[in-house]
Amino acid sequence: MTIVREQVRELAEFQDPALSAVSFYFQPSTPRNKSHKEDAIRIKDLAREALRGVEARTERKEARESARTDIERVLRLSADLRSNGTHAKAVFACAAKNFLREYDLPPTLQGTELFVDRRFHLKPIAHLLGAFPRLGVVLVDRHRARIFDLRLGELSEREDLFHPLTRRGRSDGYAGYDGGHAERRVEDETRHHFKTVAAMLKEFLEKGVFEKWILGSVDELRSQLEAQLHPYVSQALLGHFSADVQHITRDEIRTHAEQIADAWQNKRRRDLMTLALSQARSHGRGVTGLRRVLRALEMGEVQTLLIGENFQSHAVECSHCGHLDAHVVNFCPVCGHPTHEIVDVGEAILPRVIRGDIETFYVKDDTDFDQVGNIVALLRFRVDNAESITSGAQNEMKAVADYRGRLRRFAS
């Protein structure tokens, strides 16, 4: 099962003050003869280390037993992981609260890790999901449209449409073009088909099924389809690749789409970084440094967060109100209750980031970024108009429903 944002939100909400929330991430080694054995040894070491930590830190007996149960579960699981080298895996468990979730992840984690804490450790998930939009991949030719979701490296087909007129060879409504006008009729049908596809894409975007999309088609059809797109749908298009709908494989679709998405994401990260830094310099809608970013997060002002990939900083969290403070103080400056120290503030802010649906980019070595403390936030405002959804589109929605009524699902 692949994780989706709603499930990440559930994980972010989970708390166990008694320190028995176990998070396990498994990243398979690159295939080598010894790899399975190495993976198993690594997991055993991690489990031993985690158990030592539990003995030292976890005070309540039930919480210690809960953590031990879950660590043993991870050890048992590691035997099955050997046969499944294509996926990474995440397990979130708290036996004391009867909580257990397992997810498959793309095998691009930084490593195999095991944590026991008051919250689940979500940084590897945030790395994967952070700024990745809900992405549609659309393949079209003259008669067919295949629409896929691309989530965390998994491609799943949502729609496979075939133009009904062509399929049945019927000519109702097109009688005038019959006999010697076949070519014109094909053009007409293609346009009609593309209109239908364009309407469906608009509906998907408006309903949030996709936030962005990528087009695959033979090059000569591309401009014909693009001519039918609503401006709002055009703006959400990240790029195009050349594809023959009949023959392209799933792996080819995924590879093309991921290349386009990665290039778009890299550019977006650079643009937002430049914008946030210049806004921060002019005291506009940007802030830099942990103290100011924490404050902006608590005020609910942050739209986009840029954070160093290996950002590490100490902070404290209030046990009562959840306030995070970059100054290591014993009592909460907001409510006066005792605080506890946090070793990794980049992890501690994630529940808030996930709840607020804040677009998050992790930044690799960058000297400009280093100088501003490896953490920068762009405060709330619209970055581009593509993000704003036009209202009053009810008539168009009805037209979409009508179009869809005329579509026939292609029996594959």
The residue from 79, 218, 328, 334 that contacts Zn ion (CB under 5 A) is 334
- For the record, the structure tokens of 65 come out as 């037993």
Which residue stretch of 121-129, 203-211, 256-264, 334-342 sits at the interface with Zn ion (rule: CB under 5 A)?
Answer: 334-342
* HEC string for the chain: CECCHHHHHHHHHCCCCCCCEEEEEECCCCCCCCHHHHHHHHHHHHHHHHHHHHHHHCCCHHHHHHHHHHHHHHHHHHHHHCCCCCCEEEEEEEHHHCEEEEEEECCCCCCCEEEEECCCCCHHHHHHHCCCCCEEEEEECCCEEEEEEEECCEEEEEEEEECHHHHHCCCCCCHHHCCCCHHHHHHHHHHHHHHHHHHHHHHHHHCCCCCEEEEEECHHHHHHHHCCCCHHHHHCEEEEEECCCCCCCHHHHHHHHHHHHHHHHHHHHHHHHHHHHHHHHCCCCEEECHHHHHHHHHCCCEEEEEEECCCCCCEEEECCCCCEECCCCCECCCCCCEEEEECCHHHHCHHHHHHCCCEEEEECCCHHHHHCCCEEEEECCCCCHHHCCCCCCHHHHHHHHHHHHHCEECCC
Surface-to-core class of residue 280, CB atoms within 10 Å of its CB (0-12 exposed, 13-18 middle, 19+ buried): buried
The CB-of-318 to Zn ion minimum distance in angstroms stands at 3
Query: What is the chain's length?
Result: 412
The CB-of-315 to Zn ion minimum distance in angstroms stands at 13
- For the record, the structure tokens of 184 come out as 């014109």
Instruction: Provide the mask over 54-93, with x wherever binding to Zn ion is found by CB under 5 A and - wherever it is not.
Output: ----------------------------------------
Q: Are strands 302-308 and 315-318 parallel, antiparallel or unpaired?
A: unpaired
Which residue stretch of 123-131, 165-173, 224-232, 335-343 sits at the interface with Zn ion (rule: CB under 5 A)?
Answer: 335-343
The CB-of-338 to Zn ion minimum distance in angstroms stands at 9
* Nearest to Zn ion of 57, 337 (CB atom): 337
**How far is Cα 71 from Cα 372, in angstroms, rounded to an integer?**
39
Contacts of 341 (CB under 8 A, 6+ apart): 314, 315, 316, 328
The CB-of-324 to Zn ion minimum distance in angstroms stands at 10
The residue from 335, 343, 389, 401 that contacts Zn ion (CB under 5 A) is 335
* Nearest to Zn ion of 239, 322 (CB atom): 322
* Nearest to Zn ion of 47, 332 (CB atom): 332
* Nearest to Zn ion of 331, 381 (CB atom): 331
The CB-of-321 to Zn ion minimum distance in angstroms stands at 3
The residue from 18, 332, 353, 372 that contacts Zn ion (CB under 5 A) is 332
* Nearest to Zn ion of 315, 318 (CB atom): 318
Contact 324, 349 (CB under 8 A): yes
Instruction: Provide the mask over 311-330, with x wherever binding to Zn ion is found by CB under 5 A and - wherever it is not.
Output: -------x-xx-x-------
* Nearest to Zn ion of 277, 318 (CB atom): 318
**How far is Cα 409 from Cα 39, in angstroms, rounded to an integer?**
45
Instruction: Provide the mask over 337-356, with x wherever binding to Zn ion is found by CB under 5 A and - wherever it is not.
Output: x-------------------
* Nearest to Zn ion of 337, 398 (CB atom): 337
* Nearest to Zn ion of 327, 409 (CB atom): 327
The CB-of-336 to Zn ion minimum distance in angstroms stands at 7
The CB-of-102 to Zn ion minimum distance in angstroms stands at 34
Instruction: Provide the mask over 142-181, with x wherever binding to Zn ion is found by CB under 5 A and - wherever it is not.
Output: ----------------------------------------
Total number of residues binding Zn ion (CB under 5 A)?
8
* Nearest to Zn ion of 296, 376 (CB atom): 296
The CB-of-402 to Zn ion minimum distance in angstroms stands at 55
* Nearest to Zn ion of 111, 333 (CB atom): 333
Query: Is the Cα torsion angle 282, 284, 289, 292 positive or negative in sign?
Result: positive
The CB-of-63 to Zn ion minimum distance in angstroms stands at 23
Residues 266-285 that bind Zn ion (CB under 5 A): none
The CB-of-76 to Zn ion minimum distance in angstroms stands at 40
The CB-of-332 to Zn ion minimum distance in angstroms stands at 3
* Nearest to Zn ion of 46, 318 (CB atom): 318
Could you list the residues that contact Zn ion (CB under 5 A)? 318, 320-321, 323, 332, 334-335, 337
